[in-house]
Structure 1
Amino acid sequence: MSNRAVEITLLGRTYSIACPEGREAALHAVASEVESQLSTLKARTNNLSREELAIMAALNIGNQLFEEKQQNKQYMAQMDERISLLQATLENALIERSHKDD
């Protein structure tokens, strides 16, 4: 898979980013989310430099990612628990059936 240059704009500056073919829409979606974060931060704190805005946005996005990962871990633990319960229920039903067949 080859890369191609995709242009995105953040805070009025255009950047040319190497992007794998077929992933352009994802890059634009991510850039849109980053732009939203940057614009919100800029509106709240007019005195931050671009670098400081970028760091704050990265921390906010990193925190969102961390929270999502924690929720996924909880979800996976719940699913594992449900699967175990279903397995135990099926095993018990098969055992009961085999006893009735005897």
Structure 2
Amino acid sequence: MSASRSVTVKLLDKEYTISCPDGAEAELLASADYLNEKMRDIRNTGKIVGLERIAVMAALNMSHELMKNKEEQRHVVEMNLRRISNKIDRALNDKKG
């Protein structure tokens, strides 16, 4: 079992102590910085008030980004597979003829 440690992150000027596995501190801090940036962007629009609502909107926006990126990656993989399949078909046809 891997050991964990506590890391303090700051989101909208509020500190949170979070447990994370040893060696994952940098990733956690980078993730917290990204979340903090997204939360600040939302807060700065002035349209949403309250830490909880800002956090939920940031989470929804980030989830949307993730899903969009996954779909784009899936599309790239499908295109590459199609391209490879076409190359294989051409190579097999060239061998036959």
Give yes or no for contact 2:6–2:18 (8 Å, CA) kept in 1.
yes
Query: Could you say which residue in structure 2 is the equivalent of 1:26?
Result: 27
> Per-residue CA shift, 1:26-65, capped at 9, x if unaligned?
1111111100011111111265110100111011101101
User: Could you tell me the TM-score, scaled by structure 2's length?
Assistant: 0.88
Runs of at least 5 residues in structure 1 that lack an aligned partner in the other structure: 97-102
1:48 matched to 2:49 = yes
Q: Is the 8 A contact 2:9 2:29 kept in 1?
A: yes
Residues 73 and 91 (structure 1), Cα distance of their counterparts in 2 relative to 1, 3 Å cut: same
Partner SS state of residue 6, structure 2: strand
Tell me how far 1:69 sits from its aligned partner.
Answer: 0.9
TM-score for the superposition, normalised by structure 1: 0.84
**Which residues in structure 2 correspond to 1:1-102 (within 5 Å)?**
1-45=2-46, 48-96=49-97
Aligned-pair Cα RMSD in Å: 1.5
Q: How many residues align?
A: 96
Q: Provide the C-alpha distance between the structure 2 equivalents of 1:4 and 1:94, rounded to a whole number of angstroms.
A: 60
Write the distance in 1 (CA, Å) between the matches of 2:48 and 2:65.
24
Can you give the 5+ residue segments of structure 2 that lack an aligned partner in the other structure? none
Distance 2:80 2:27 in 1: 28
Report deviation, 1:95.
3.4
Q: Which has the larger radius of gyration?
A: 1
For residue 93 of structure 1, report the CA deviation from its aligned partner. 3.5
Q: Following TM superposition, where does structure 1 have runs of at least 4 consecutive aligned residues deviating by more than 3 angstroms?
A: 93-96
- Cα drift, residue 79 of structure 1: 1.1
Worse-superposed segment, 83-92 or 51-60: 83-92
